[in-house]
Structure 1
Amino acid sequence: MDNFVSNIVAITILLFLLITFLQSGVDKILDWKGNLGWLKEHFAKTFMGNMVPLLLSVVLVIEVVTALCCIIGIYYLVADNENCFALLAMFLACITLLMLLFGQRVAKDYAGALTITCYFIVAVFGLYIVSL
């Protein structure tokens, strides 16, 4: 119980990121065609237009890996007060969000980029918390 309490901020942020990336990954798996169609249209006028299936696959993999690291990170914080996986999860979340931000900026979807920035702030704060 002491490990849980002493890591409550990191655990809460990991839960937030877990929900974010697990839901996003599951949505991509369950509605691959819908996501692919929307993204092809979204990036049609950019240099990434022909790479959408590959890029969507890369984002899916990193989202799922990030979600798994969040689960493992929570476990190790509570069980052993070990932050290695929590640190990895927070870093992967930041990298994933930077990838998404780059895509939104290339597509000139500034409102979408702003939304990602809100998630990024949480992830960077989490990275800071677990790196202390």
Structure 2
Amino acid sequence: MDNFMTHIVSITILLFLLITFLQSGIDKLVDWKGNLSWLKEHFAATFMGKMVPLLLLVVLVIEVVTAVCSIIGIYHLIMDGNTYFGTLAMFLGCITLLLLLFGQRVAKDYQGALTITCYFIVAIFGLYVITP
């Protein structure tokens, strides 16, 4: 119980990242065609228009890896106080959000970029909190 209380902020942020990226990854898997169709239209007028399927796959993989690292990170924080996987999850979350932010800015979707910024603030704060 000591480890839980010591790392409660990091655990809570990891739960936030877990929910965010696991749901997003599941949505991409369940509705691949719908996501792909929407994104192709969203990026049609950009240099990324023809790369959408590959980019969607890259984001999906990083999201799933981030979610798995979040689960492992929560476990290790509670069981032995080890921060390695928690730190990795938060860093991957930041990288994923930066990739998404880049895409939204390229597509000139500034409202979407603003939304991602809110998530990024939580992730970067988590990285700050968990880093010794």
Equivalent position SS for 2:4: helix
Return the TM-score normalized by structure 1: 1.00
In structure 1, the partner of 2:35 is 35
Cα displacement string for residues 20-44 of structure 1 (whole angstroms, at most 9, x for unaligned residues): 0000000000000000000000000
In structure 1, the partner of 2:95 is 95
In structure 2, the partner of 1:80 is 80
Query: RMSD of the TM alignment (CA)?
Result: 0.3
For 1:83, the aligned partner's letter is: T
Matches within 5 A, 1:1-132: 1-132=1-132
Q: Residues of 2 paired with 1:101 and 1:122: CA distance?
A: 14
Q: Residues of 1 paired with 2:35 and 2:10: CA distance?
A: 31
Equivalent position SS for 1:53: helix
Cα displacement string for residues 31-75 of structure 1 (whole angstroms, at most 9, x for unaligned residues): 000000000000000000000000000000000000000000000
Instruction: Flag as ranges the 4+ runs of structure 1 deviating above 6 A.
Output: none
Structure 1 residue ranges without an equivalent (≥5): none
Identity %: 77
Number of residue equivalences: 132
Shift of 1:107: 0.1
Shift of 1:129: 0.4
Q: Residues of 1 paired with 2:87 and 2:81: CA distance?
A: 12
Return the TM-score normalized by structure 2: 1.00
